[in-house]
């Protein structure tokens, strides 16, 4: 996958997050970057439509929670992705182990 494809994917997602899901621009940019990283590492054929279809699930009101839930569901379907927190807006959280520890 080329860098151009990744940047176009992220740009389209960012716009979609703002326009369709009412995310603020900063949150939309962070989410788009994380989705592009997930796509590059685990799901190279992930489309904007596939991700936005998952975000349409109204389990959560806040965009951040919807996004994190969608990423978790996408990651669960990928056999070798055992921890999706690095791709979520919430990240690892204060109580999580440091992913760089022992590296």
Classify residue 30: in a domain, yes or no. yes
Classify residue 94: in a domain, yes or no. no
Q: CB burial class (10 A; 0-12, 13-18, 19+) of residue 64?
A: middle
Classify residue 24: in a domain, yes or no. yes
Classify residue 95: in a domain, yes or no. no
Classify residue 80: in a domain, yes or no. yes
Which element (helix H / strand E) includes 72?
helix 63-76
Could you read off the pLDDT of 6-58 as tens digits, one per residue? 789 999 999 999 999 999 999 999 999 999 999 999 999 999 999 999 888 76
Classify residue 11: in a domain, yes or no. yes
Token digits of residue 46: 């992930």
* Overall domain count for the chain: 1
Classify residue 98: in a domain, yes or no. no
CB 86, CB 49: distance < 8 Å: no
What pTM does this model have? 0.81
State the residue range of the domain holding 46.
Answer: 3-87
Classify residue 79: in a domain, yes or no. yes
Could you read off the pLDDT of 65-94 as tens digits, one per residue? 999 999 999 999 988 888 888 999 988 766
CA nearest to 87, candidates 34, 47, 48: 34
Could you give the CA distance from residue 80 to residue 39 in angstroms, rounded to a whole number?
13
């Amino acid at each position: 996958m080329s860098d151009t494809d990744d940047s176009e994917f992220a740009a389209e997602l960012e716009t979609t997050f703002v326009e369709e899901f009412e995310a603020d621009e900063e949150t939309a940019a962070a989410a788009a970057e994380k989705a592009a990283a997930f796509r590059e590492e685990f799901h190279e054929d992930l489309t904007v439509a596939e991700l936005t279809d998952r975000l349409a699930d109204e389990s959560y009101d806040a965009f951040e929670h919807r996004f994190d839930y969608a990423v978790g569901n996408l990651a669960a379907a990928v056999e070798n992705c055992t921890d999706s927190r690095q791709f979520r807006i919430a990240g690892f959280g204060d109580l999580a182990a440091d992913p760089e520890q022992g590296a």
